[in-house]
Amino acid sequence: MWGAVNRTDAKPRLAGLVVGRFGGRYSSELGIDVDAGDAEVERWFVAATLFGARISSKVAGRTFDQLARHGIVRIVDAADVDWDSLVALLDAGGYARFDFRTATRLRALAEVVDRCYGGEVAEIGRRFTEPESLVSALDELPGWGPVTVGLFLRELRGVWRGVPVSLDSRAAEAAFHIGLLSDWDDDGLAELTFVAQRAGCDERDMEAALVRLALNHRRIAECPGLSQCVALVVERPTGAQADVARQGSSATRVTHPAAKPRP
């Protein structure tokens, strides 16, 4: 499909194929440019919170648009909307299954961000400049967990100083599975960043696409990998699930027969 993996141009072409097939950053799909400043990071924080339920990215995006149209573009804006109105907005976006819980979560987050960080999500990034402390601070937020934190921070690499410089384990496994990553023992993020640059795409889009590829293997018991990877030759499902929609469960391993066990 893309030729031998050892050809000079094979990896960049494969990188472009993966991003084109599975999509890149969720923030970009929602029209959010996290590189443009604090206001955009605020919007991404609201969106990432919505991905915290077992909901499709399509529904989460539609719900995010509903909130934005009604003035909720920062998490603290949720404090200015009564609980019943929040539930109605969530329902309008298709979030009905999680409307009560999420309305409560949004208001709780608004209270914590206002009380602890002066109403600014960006203050979290300014205050916690080491990966361990930043991850811990976000993990303590109401309704947030490791997967939501990982999704939020992955798209802020290069924006917030404390974002961990490491590759999502699902992305690393998927990259090795299809031949983009030569060895799990190497610095996978550095290698994928190099490939992404040669492919003319953002490494954050590359990583997000690989996470999506890994999640697409959830119902695939066996896969030969490399150029025969089943996830690359079947049609992408409509409304691909955000990675946080898998919170609490793990994706089926996507190693191919030649892959060594992961350390």
Taking the whole predicted model, whether its pTM rises above 0.85 is answered as no
Domains in the chain: boundaries: 10-25+165-246, 28-154
Q: What is the predicted pLDDT for the residue at 63?
A: 94
The residue among 71, 136, 147 whose CA lies nearest residue 110 is 71
The band of 98, judged by pLDDT with boundaries at 50, 70 and 90, is: confident
Q: Can you tell me the distance from the alpha carbon of 20 to that of 23, in angstroms, rounded to the nearest whole number?
A: 6
245 to 54, 129, 229: CA distances (angstroms) = 4, 28, 23
Structure-token match 């109105």, residue found? 85
pLDDT at 121 exceeding the cut of 70: yes
State the CB neighbour count (10 A cutoff) for residue 38.
16
What is the rounded CA–CA span in Å between residue 157 and residue 135?
A: 13
Query: What are 190-226's pLDDT values in tens digits?
Result: 999 999 999 999 999 999 999 999 888 765 557 888 8
pLDDT, one tens digit per residue, over 21-39 is 999 999 999 999 999 999 9
Q: Which CATH architecture describes the domain 28-154?
A: Orthogonal Bundle (1.10)
